[in-house]
Amino acid sequence: MDSASNDRAQLPRNMIENSMFEEEPDVVDLAKEPTLNPLESEEVEYEPRSSRLLVRGLGEHEMDDDEEDYESSAKLLGMSFMNRSSGLRNNVGNYRQAQEGLCPVPSARTVIVSVVVVVILVSIVTVIYLLPKCTFTKEGCHKKTQPVELIYPIATNGQRFPWTKSRLPNYIKPLEYNITLYPNLTTMTFSGKVNIKLNATGNANAIVLHSSGLQDIQANVTLRSGATHNLSVLEYPTFEMIAMVLPETLQKGTECLLTIEYHSNFSTSYYGFYKMSYVKEQNISTWLAATQFEPLAARKAFPCFDEPAFKSTFRLEIKRSEEHTALSNMPKIKTTVLPDGRLDEFATSVKMSTYLVAFIVSDMKNVTKDANGTLVSIYAIPQKIDQAQYALDTAITLLEFFSDYFGIKYPLPKLDLVAIPDIQAGAMENWGLLTFRETTLLYTENSSSLMDKQLITQVIAHELAHQWFGNLVTMEWWNDLWLNEGFATYMEYFALQSKFKDLNADDKFLKARCDAMDKDSLQTTHAISTDVQSPEQIEEMFDDLSYIKGASILQMLNVYLTTDIFHKCIEKYLSDHKYETTKSDGLWDSMNQVVGSSRDVKNIMKTWTQQAGYPLVTVEKKGKEVYVSQERFLRTVNSSKATGNSSSTLWHVPLSYIFGPCNGPSENGSFLLNQTQGKIGLPSEPCWLKFNVNMTGYYIVDYGHDGWDALIKQLRSNPTVFAASDRVNLIHDIFVLSGVGKEPLLRAFDLLAYLVNETEPAPIQQALHQTRIIHSLLAKQGFSYLAANLEMRIFNLLRDKIDNQKWTDDGTLSAQELRSLLLDLACMHGDDHCINEATQLFNIWQYNGTRLPTAVKKIVFKVGAHTDDGWGYLYSMYNTSLSEAEKIKMLEGLASTDDGKKLQWLMSASLHGEDIRTQDFPAVIHFISKNVPGFLLAWNFVKQNWDEITQKFPPGSFPIQSIVTKVTANFGTEVYLNEVINFFNSTKGKSRDMWCVKEAIEAIKLNIQWIDKNRDNLNWL
């Protein structure tokens, strides 16, 4: 989506657009409302008075006398000039006699007069529009620092709303909140009262804060004198703001107490204070309520200053029924018995942003353990609390690790991790009250696989890392979201590699980096630190770039600075900014203080945070000398446009390399490429040379014809010279380069020939990922013969490994991952032996209740669901299973059917929350879109239900990004390109402006270009 470049709301344009739908004028004249306080002049942009004439309702019949005079003067000036011209034309003496049929020739005097008049008009226009620091009005020239006339928005009651920007004013800041909530899980409503202690950081005549969907708002203010005044509440839903004009000016440095009472319905989406139900034992349905405030939804639960920079303390009281439990960020300190329930009071929080406030009312159970003075608890619905022990042990291990590593003890007295039955996010880092999907927190030995354990551990690590990166130190505004999410993602993988080495976190991070680079190579990508203002733009910041690219550049910096120095930089950053907010520069400044003058971290890293994309490093070897150059890499079939160079696309690239002398062991080196080109001297001429060791750098490399041939030769002779991560890197880079025509696709497949000797899952996974992209694109455009040949080529390459696989849970995580990859490939290929084994296991499970091996369970479900009887049984088991890890595998199995009616039902049921929770709707769309029978069904369903989808999942949110990307990923014809463009152009709101829509359209164009270039050149398959 496009964004405004600054905080200033573009009110005049918005009002013009609104005027098409509103009969009443949308502005008021400040001069006619002298009692209302204007904002300080430096805070606003003043508009020429004449601009008001553009607004409907202020036409020629509604102008005041001065405006009529101004309009009349303009008309007179025009008429005077016309009359003079007319007189000149009528004066025959001033014109030479023209021949019949020819135009008359003007006299010299006429030409001179005309030129003079034009010069005068041009001069006037130049003075008006080019005079510096001047806004021209009918009264004359006014400097911008002088208030002329301000156009304010109109509140819902028709009065002037005293603020014009989409961001809150900074002349009042909250110091502490006291919030009392009265949720009613019978009527599905809640009421609330909030007392906010405020401090004026500048003179203020009005209080402006956020509120969305709250009703019957009543407010009063207690001033320093002790007097309490009732306030009129002005509401401006466009900005989700309310305002109250104060009875007297609040002087800078003084405090007041604002009290607001309100009520509301529980949210029907996943944002704000929302309700959900779950089925207890004996098939009894019960309700619970929970919160999800990030990024902009605290305002839906209580009026607040809902921007990250407005940190404050919070004290909550929550009324509940006797059978329920209330949870919040802080421990409960008191419970009062009331005639109709209980009132729980919670301790005052540390200073934090509003999006981290959280509360839950439910009948959940918990398991608890003390960890060095911090009470750690896992909460789940009663019938699943026996699945909580692994999460409890893991949370304690990671809490102790992070406290030691950061040198700052976790600051709260308790840490609750709650498994929510229905939640949009994978998890949320609310300070002291972390919320999770059940799939990312609950684990059982008999039904969860080692891959499930890896996921749970990762997500817990991510959310615990947020307690420091995001909660203790918070980004000042959402443009720097990567400071939260990039650091939490990096620390998630770092913690697992440090404390859970058997979970192969490095392989998972490696795949994530490859996926992020694919997104970041599009022209429609964005810098990880980029200006955002609207809610849709803020939602779209929660993407792979903020998370994975952010983590990737931190890993690259870690390698460049060395682990010990990077660790000290992290400690310095947290210490410098704890309990405050900061920007990217705050991180780099802290790091520079540690590093000193030897390296300018800020100068290096700004090239990675403020520029979109990443570099392609081209390598040319000449004897012992290596010449390297950089240019931006763009994924396009036209190789002449696959890169772009300008002064704005120059990175400081910390290159790492490994080379193999023709005789002797391999050697390593490093080089900072901070210019377009550079030269590296080696001690001897290498037989092969590879850059980006372990793929810790965020760039790709082209070695040229000879360089690639040398690497392919080495892979075939002895692949273990390279680490598994380096083999992944080579596979990724050569396929990406072949996709833009820089390397032949045949050479990429020549490199894959070494896979017969590959033993690690990560390189095989990357090879299957790259070839499946091509296979899916060919199959879904109707090139089934080529797709089948490609599949056969890969199957034959890995046949021996497939034949050696056992349908068990034996072995390490790596062994189980490899088993799952290979058997899934074989069954998708239609291998008889694989399908027979899977079918036999499914039948034994169905008729005897025999436990299925967790490593192959998903494959068995997918094969078994291809019969009507198998599909029906799998669905019945889905409804009764208590393991969410197992249910998501069952859901993928159900979505693998070729029956269009069943696929249609799955999409409808998941969208409406009927038997399948709405949180899983994006996953259902993904599963169905992967298969040839389902991808068009999924696209048509999304089109037909777009309005409902965007009501449940906000535009720009990660679920919407996933749905748009997955459902259009394999379109490769002009027909579908035009259909996608026309559909999103026809939608309500700002769907067509979303980044994910622009990325989808660009990806389809690339697919079309790839098909056109390669379909006639794939005979070698």
For residue 906 the two structure tokens come to 């799955």
CA distance 1015 to 1004: 16
CA distance 909 to 893: 16
Contact 536, 956 (CB under 8 A): yes
Name the helix (H) or strand (E) containing 890.
helix 884-894
* β-sheet bridge partners, residue 320: 342
Could you write out the DSSP letters of every residue in 529-547? S----SHHHHHHTSSHIII
411: exposed, middle or buried (C-beta count within 10 Å: 0-12, 13-18, 19+)?
Answer: middle
Contact 1018, 1010 (CB under 8 A): no
CA distance 211 to 214: 6
Contact 359, 316 (CB under 8 A): yes
Closest CA to 383 of 456, 278, 280, 283: 280
Phi, psi of 610 (to 5 degrees): -105, 0
CA distance 415 to 407: 18
Pairing label, strands 272-279, 228-231: unpaired
What is each CA distance from 999 to 402, 614, 951, in whole angstroms? 37, 17, 22
CA distance 1002 to 480: 26
Scanning the structure block, which residue is given the tokens 């369903």? 941
CA distance 730 to 459: 29
Nearest-10 crossing angle of helices 550-561, 505-520: 120
CA distance 789 to 1015: 13
Name the helix (H) or strand (E) containing 776.
helix 761-780
Closest CA to 330 of 292, 290, 375: 375
248-251's contacts with Cβ under 8 Å and 24+ in sequence apart are: 248/223, 249/37, 249/203, 249/204, 249/205, 250/172, 250/200, 250/203, 250/204, 250/205, 250/223, 251/200, 251/203
Q: Is 463 marked active-site?
A: yes
Which DSSP symbol is given to 160? B
Q: How many CA atoms lie within 13 A of 133 on its CB side?
A: 4
For residue 900 the two structure tokens come to 């269009």
CA distance 479 to 610: 11
For residue 633 the two structure tokens come to 């890499």
Nearest-10 crossing angle of helices 389-406, 563-577: 90
Q: What is the CA radius of gyration of the chain?
A: 33
| Amino acid sitting at position 571 | E
645 alpha-carbon distance from chain centroid: 28
For residue 869 the two structure tokens come to 């009887």
For residue 590 the two structure tokens come to 């802290």
Scanning the structure block, which residue is given the tokens 């005068």? 120
Q: How many CA atoms lie within 13 A of 390 on its CB side?
A: 23
Phi, psi of 776 (to 5 degrees): -65, -40
Which DSSP symbol is given to 902? H
Name the helix (H) or strand (E) containing 901.
helix 900-912
> Catalytic: which of 463, 791, 817, 886?
463
* β-sheet bridge partners, residue 899: none
Please give the biggest Cα pair distance in the chain: 114
The residues that are catalytic are: 463
